[in-house]
Amino acid sequence: MKKFHEKFFYHFYKTLFSVGLRIYYKKITVSGFEKLPLKRPIITASNHPTGLMDVFLASHHIKRQIKFTAAGALFKDKLQAAFLTSVGTIPVYRRKDSPGEQDKNIESFELCFQELESGGAIGFYPEGTSHPEPWINSIKTGTARVALQAEDRNNFELDLSIVPIGINSLYPGKFRGSVFVNIGDPIAVKDHQHAYRQDSVEAVQNLTADIQRGMQLCAFHIQNNSLIKIFEGLKTIGVDEIKLKDTKAKNNLEQIYLITKNLEAKVNNEEDYDSENGTTLKALNSICRDLSDLENQMTEFKITGHPLQGIKTGVQYIGLFLILISGIPIIISAIVANMLPFILSKNVGSKLAGKDLSLIPAARLMMGTVIFLLFYLLLSIILSSFIGILKALILIVFFIIGGYLSLWYWEAFKEFGNIFRKMYLWFKNKDKIKDLIEKRNDFINRINDFLIVNN
């Protein structure tokens, strides 16, 4: 009965918040979905850039139920505990936020073992805490210990795998931002059977190192200062013209991920790096110096990407302008109708998250989903009493579609404004823009040369 209860609420919330996710994020892409074992027991090991939102992002694309682990301190709030327990979340008690409660982990680990032995899935965030920086912190040994102990008590016949997952975003938690969920190659726990029999402590450390490497491959993991500067600069400069060998990105975010991985590989490759002359790093540092100057100029002009990118013909502008103008009355009415639940969702979500900034995106998503649902339900009841059920439902559908379209309109108007700014700058400061284009092309060529030479 308990399993049915957990499964029902898990899929109910997953369906509910999946709708919210599609609205909150402009684009969510997934790579490596085919690597996920569908029936065997698995443990997912993910990075943790956006708090509870990472749970929604991971579960959204995995059909089977995942029982995630969460800090025991989160269960102290009764409302929060009720929600977490309803979907089968397993508490893990850490010394730093639950001192003196570590004995409770015996029961928690037992729940993990039972779930894995029944062919289920457990979700871990091995870094322990959420952080938005584009790298993986040193992970804890808990994931490896649970995996090895689960296999050990089943004579290493569980066929358990640990699946690393990278949640990547240029601006973690940003409303209408983009997310790239990257699923890595499963790590077979039984490969560590012999080592575990010989020395369990060393085996745990070795498996932890394997998990760390797997997570670093799936997610942004940039620790070199020059690479961090390039990573930040690419957000402004754009990456469309940067060429990568034998790889094709689906979008801008995935392209930046692949570029940083290629650059990171060149820096870390001992064969390419001359310890005496620092050839690789010298070249990279030189690129960074030029990048800073270029980035400052583009920021001054408030330009992202190619300075002339997006500029269209006069006929195209007239068509786009007419489409935007003709839809304004509809969009304004939809914005007015959706303004109250939008503001409530934002404010209540922020208040619910409290001082924990990492919880704000998920809190706003959850509150937004619930508040909008209740708002439309209440509005339909009120309208139906005046204009009838059918007309009320038509109007509600209009408001919902119009509200979603208003997001597109807002983004289209911003892009339209960006294009006009580029045109204005081109006519007013043609020489400066030409110089900017030349510097940007030079930077792109140097990055391409660096990738080719160090390939």
**Rounded Cα distance, 73 and 85, in Å:** 13
Classify residue 103 as exposed, middle or buried by CB count within 10 Å of its CB (0-12, 13-18, 19+).
exposed
Cα 305 to Cα 170, 239, 300: the distances in Å are 15, 8, 14
Give the model's pLDDT for residue 293.
Answer: 80
Count of C-beta atoms within a 10 Å radius of residue 116: 26
Q: What is the pLDDT of residue 317?
A: 59
217: tokens are: 């491959």
> Residue 74's CB: how many other CB atoms inside 10 A?
18
What local confidence, expressed as pLDDT, does residue 440 receive? Answer: 85
CB 306 within 8 Å of CB 238:
yes
Nearest Cα residue to 102 out of 112, 92, 111: 92
Q: What residue spans define the domains of the chain?
A: 2-218, 225-301+437-453, 314-428
**Per-residue pLDDT tens digits of the chain, which is 455 residues long:** 556 678 888 888 888 888 889 899 999 999 988 898 888 999 999 999 998 899 989 888 788 889 999 888 888 878 778 888 888 899 988 888 777 788 888 899 999 999 999 999 999 999 988 999 999 999 999 999 999 999 999 999 999 999 999 999 999 999 999 999 999 999 999 999 999 999 999 999 999 999 999 999 999 998 888 888 888 888 888 777 777 766 677 788 888 898 888 888 877 764 444 444 456 667 777 788 778 788 888 887 777 777 666 655 545 556 666 666 767 777 788 888 889 999 999 999 998 888 778 889 999 999 999 999 999 999 999 999 999 999 999 999 988 888 888 888 888 777 777 777 777 888 888 888 888 888 888 888 888 877 765 55
* Contact assessment for residue 253 and residue 169, using Cβ atoms and an 8 Å cutoff: yes
What pLDDT is attached to residue 197?
Answer: 94
Residue 2: its pLDDT value, please?
Answer: 55
pLDDT reported for residue 157 = 94
Question: Quick one: pLDDT at residue 147?
Answer: 97
Give residue 319's pLDDT. 63
- Specify the pLDDT at position 211: 97
Please give the full DSSP string across 192-222, using - where no structure is assigned: GHHHHHH-HHHHHHHHHHHHHHHHHHHS---
Q: What is the pLDDT of residue 368?
A: 93
Count CA atoms closer than 13 A to 401's CA, side-chain side: 8
Model pLDDT, residue 275: 43
Token output for 302 = 């408030």
What's the pLDDT score for residue 452?
67
Q: Whose CA is closest to 283, among 220, 223, 217, 224?
A: 224
Q: Report how far apart, in Å, the C-alpha atoms of 355 and of each of 106, 201, 351, 352 are.
A: 31, 37, 8, 9
pLDDT of residue 279: 61
Task: Identify any residues that bridge with 124 across adjacent strands, giving them in sequence order.
Answer: 45
* Three-class secondary structure of residue 241 per DSSP: coil
CB 408, CB 391: distance < 8 Å: no
How high is the pLDDT of residue 271? Answer: 47
CATH architecture of 2-218: 3-Layer(aba) Sandwich (3.40)
- Strand 178-183 and strand 27-31: the pairing is parallel
Distance CA 331, CA 140 (A): 49
Q: What is the residue type of 356? A: D
